[in-house]
Amino acid sequence: MTNDKKQPSVNDGLSRVDGRLKVTGAAKYSAEFAIKDLVYGVLVGSTITKGKIKSIDTKKAERASGVLAVVTHLNSPKVPGYQVATDPGKPAVKGPVKVFYDDQILYNGQPVALVIADTFERALFAASLVNAQYIAGKHITNLKDNLGKAVSTHDDTEYKRGTVDAFKSAPIIVEQEYMLPSEVHNPMELHALIAKWDAADKITVWDKTQGVKDTQSNIAKLFHIPVENVQVNSKFVGGAFGSALQVWPHEVAAIIGAKVVKRPVKLVLGRADMFTSVGYRPLTWQKIGIGATADGKLVGITHHAVGQTSTYEDFAEGPTNISRSLYASPNVNSSNKILGLDVGSPTWMRGPGDATGAFALESALDELSYKLKIDPIELRLKNYAETDPESGKPFSGKNLKDAYKLGAEGIGWKERRQEAGSVTKDGWLLGYGMSGGVFGADREPATVKATMLADGTLVLQTAVSDIGPGTATAMVAIASETMGIPASQIRFDLGDSLYPNAPQQGGSTITSSVGSAVYMACKDLKEKFQQLIGNGGEDKPNYTKVLKQHHLTQLQVITDSKAGSEVDKYAMYSWSVHFVSVLVNPATGVIKLGKVVCVADSGRIISPKTARSQVIGGAVMGIGMALMEEAIFDDRYGRLINNNLADYHMPVNADIPQIEAIFVNKPDTNINPIGAKGMGEIALIGMAAAVANAVYNATGKRIRNLPITPDKLVDWVALT
């Protein structure tokens, strides 16, 4: 629901413009294209965690029925972009794994061979026949035991405002450690690629990617071919939360394989491979210190974090950044370090950094509210930042107070009791919790081609991908309102590198960036029509009639859009508040969610239906983070032991209660002309802390090591 029906919204009842294609199966995803002479690839992964390949026997696989080739480091064509020269005696340049480059093993599951056959089943069988022998080295995969080895990677990892560790001088102090386990990307669509070489220096790929232009550029650089000779198609993406923001080894392997067999190669990762091959949210240790006066004014915040990365690639997501800007604390200092372990590289995952940091910060602030005997909302209002604490700039738009009020009313916050563990309902412990979230609201450059055809159809084209939030629907809504024509007359073409430039779909930037480009392109197109009509033209003319009068088959514009001087004037963020009620069984520790209310302050709501879906999806993901998701390593062998959807637990329908999505819905026209800001990240950020805070309110037991499973709640000593 929106806060005020009088607030501007566009096409309130518009359903997904690609919905029918998806539910009928007409939408084609990357692995579903029927390419002539297509063959199939299956990867063979390393069974050790660190060391090198002693030998690799592929003879049995090569002799198996239907097998066309087996590619390893011994026979792989060289990838020109991999040949990075380094000075003797200096450490190797860090970066993504160079598949089939040498005999070195850097993590368990690293691809060591690619089997290509005329059917998938034959390739899968032949892959089981590849026999690799290894010389294993000593591996390290445990973060907690090696925190002292963590290092800073760049200047931004250390931050200081005011006095360091000022919280220690405050009358009321909370200082605690928090652990967030690795969470794994598990979208419905497996990562997949079809690679087809059209010539020695020309290639077409059908790829699951969040950015066709970036994938195009990366492939061109890796294989030293002109960027215009790389065509990337990604018309539909079946879910991605950051895992498709880069080119992974399996994609390069498929391209290599296609070059070897001189036929198009399809490679689809298995579900187990999804746990090792396309990144994850890094396991992160955090320590928070917060100090306040007796009346609740913050004195200082200290936030330290160590995140897991690989030994070959430095990945830092920035979980401490949220402590700099969410509240008006005069003293803040933080450090963000990484620890290289013998694991595959982590990557961006929805709400990167801030979702991790919010769990620690918002849990600690909730702990502080109990020490102060102050309502958690009141504590936040006492420390409400009217201007950006980090930069000192005014906010482009901030309506977080409205969000607190709307969420409190929606959840029934007045029923909450400050004393933890004091309320029961039908024999279950009842509790309420809340948490805030924030994420930067950016606007990236984007270009849109807008063409009005003679039959009145408006065609919009740009190279953006749509990973599921309903990008095409939002863009059609903007164009419909701007041009004054029904949504049914608008076609939005996307997901092809042949189209004009657009940013990757990540970081909650697409509506702000591409949406602004669509709006401006439509304005430019209308202006072009006005020039044809002359003085006295209508604001929303009959476009078909005008084209016919001027003997034109179409009218077209190409419009560039980017941020202006406003980026220097304002601090730009989207905000959220999450409210949760829970029931906890005192005997078993089982948690049932009662109700979830999420409030988004993300500017103007362009597409209410898909916006609501975004918020609900983020809430569900946050529930998984809080209660279920955890990638578990057996450190003896350095490998995951729950790399499947039976043992890696995620929420299902039965776990999810009523979720109410509320929008403040106040345009922020300081950031862009359409007044919209990002929503995908804030839908998740803070949700896990809201659940944890509700569990504490119900039970009096503070869980700082996610996920919150029943065994962590039940007092087994008391039971025995």
Catalytic residues: 681
Sheet of strand 158-161, all strands in order from the earlier edge strand to the far edge: 158-161, 332-341, 298-310, 284-292, 172-180
Distance CA 26, CA 30 (A): 13
- Pairing mode, if any, of strands 428-440 and 424-425? antiparallel
Spatial CB neighbours of 565, under 8 Å, sequence gap ≥ 6? none
Distance CA 627, CA 713 (A): 12
Distance CA 14, CA 474 (A): 9
For 87-95, which contacts have Cβ atoms below 8 Å and span 24 or more sequence positions? 94/312, 94/313, 94/314, 95/312, 95/313
Cβ count near 82 (within 10 Å): 18
Q: Where are the beta strands (DSSP E) in 442-508?
A: 446-453, 458-461, 490-493
CB 710 within 8 A of CB 588: yes
CA angle 622, 624, 625 (to 5 degrees): 65
Q: Can you spell out the DSSP letters for 241-259?
A: SSTTSS--HHHHHHHHHHH
CB 586 within 8 A of CB 428: yes
Distance CA 442, CA 437 (A): 16
Query: Tokens 């020695």 belong to which residue?
Result: 200
User: Based on C-alpha coordinates, what's the Rg of the chain?
Assistant: 27
The 10 Å CB-count burial string (b at 16+, else e) for 588-622 is: ebebebbbbbbbbbbbbbbbbbbbbbbbbbbbbbb
Q: Residue 483, Cα to own-chain centre: how many angstroms?
A: 32
Distance CA 286, CA 320 (A): 9
Distance CA 225, CA 122 (A): 32
Backbone torsions φ then ψ of 58, nearest 5 degrees: -115, 5
Distance CA 589, CA 309 (A): 33
Tokens of 417: 């009791």
Tokens of 629: 């998701």
Q: How many CA atoms lie within 13 A of 261 on its CB side?
A: 27
For 76-82, which contacts have Cβ atoms below 8 Å and span 24 or more sequence positions? 76/100, 76/101, 76/256, 76/260, 77/256, 77/259, 77/260, 79/222, 79/223, 79/252, 79/256, 80/222, 80/223, 80/224, 81/221, 81/222, 81/223, 81/224, 82/222
- Pairing mode, if any, of strands 591-601 and 658-663? parallel
Distance CA 131, CA 57 (A): 5
Q: At what angle do helices 354-372 and 608-627 cross, to 10 degrees?
A: 70
Distance CA 612, CA 600 (A): 10
Spatial CB neighbours of 95, under 8 Å, sequence gap ≥ 6? 84, 312, 313
Q: How many CA atoms lie within 13 A of 202 on its CB side?
A: 4
